[in-house]
């Protein structure tokens, strides 16, 4: 049967790792896709929901590694949709939370391509929850602030304002910049005893983590051998963390 004149692109949030955290809408969208453009942090188990014969194109991006250029990804989506294919753009977490989903949607709309967004469980809530950490709690935090460990424009966060806010801080892509983040928070007046969790491969069977304080977290991360992809959580809510459920490599440092 000939392909329709125009296809579409679905920006799918695959969640923080565990394929069972996919939404029903994401599963249905994957099952209809002809081609899937898949980010590096999407677990292979997610792709089991693609229909037989669907083509998988890896377009991963990871800090410190050679990455697929963003313009190439956008050009591929546009070209495939114009050829009549249903394209699944599969992203870890939620496509609109540090996932460049907004950029890609804008590019598709400018090209006149039909685009749909399927939200996913963002790492900022799903990963802490896997450790028993609520990002808000009536006794500990009345809000949560999501930030990225590095900014595209190279500008610095307003660390004093973040400290004054009293919210839980969840830092995406923060491990590489952990030393600078710790120094900035201490300089901004945060107490050195503030609890901090660093969680690698959150929600997956290989998840590893450390719970420490602002003063000890750098040494704790080095001792545990943690690296990217990892999430950094700063705030009193970290006291709720339950590490015994983790692998034996997880550590708690007071």
Strand partners, 65: none
Q: Using CA atoms, how far apart are residues 37 and 73, in angstroms rounded to an integer?
A: 8
Give me the sign of the Cα torsion angle 22, 24, 27, 33: negative
Joined together, the tokens standing for residue 134 give 């609520």
Helix (H, G, I), strand (E, B) or coil at 158: coil
Residue 173 is encoded by which pair of tokens? 């892509």
Tokens of 169: 């801080």
Direct distance between the N- and C-terminal alpha carbons of the chain, in angstroms, rounded to an integer: 64
Q: Would you please indicate which residues are annotated as catalytic (active-site) residues?
A: 39, 61, 173
Distance between CA 9 and CA 243 in Å, rounded? Answer: 40
Residues 114/81, Cβ–Cβ less than 8 Å: yes
């Amino acid at each position: 049967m000939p392909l329709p004149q125009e296809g579409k692109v679905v920006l799918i949030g695959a969640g923080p790792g565990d394929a069972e955290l996919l939404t029903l809408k994401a599963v249905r969208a994957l099952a209809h896709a002809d081609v899937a453009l898949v980010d590096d942090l999407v677990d292979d188990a997610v792709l089991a929901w693609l229909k037989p014969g669907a083509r998988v194109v890896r377009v991963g991006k990871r800090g410190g590694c050679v990455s697929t250029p963003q313009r190439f990804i956008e050009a591929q989506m546009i070209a495939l949709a114009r050829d009549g294919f249903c394209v699944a753009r599969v992203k870890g977490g939620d496509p609109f939370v540090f996932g460049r989903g907004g950029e890609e949607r804008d590019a598709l709309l400018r090209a006149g391509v039909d685009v749909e967004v399927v939200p996913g469980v963002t790492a900022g809530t799903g990963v802490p929850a896997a450790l028993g950490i609520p990002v808000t709690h009536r006794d500990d935090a009345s809000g949560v602030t999501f930030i990225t460990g590095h900014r595209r424009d190279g500008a610095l966060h307003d660390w004093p304002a973040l400290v004054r806010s009293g919210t839980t801080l969840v830092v995406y892509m923060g491990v590489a910049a952990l030393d600078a983040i710790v120094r900035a928070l201490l300089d901004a007046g945060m107490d050195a005893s503030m609890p901090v969790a660093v969680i690698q491969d959150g929600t997956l069977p290989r998840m590893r983590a450390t719970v420490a304080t602002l003063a000890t977290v750098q040494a704790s991360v080095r001792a545990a051998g943690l690296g990217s992809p990892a999430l950094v959580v700063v705030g009193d809510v970290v006291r709720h963390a339950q590490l015994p459920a983790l692998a034996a490599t997880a550590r708690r440092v007071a």
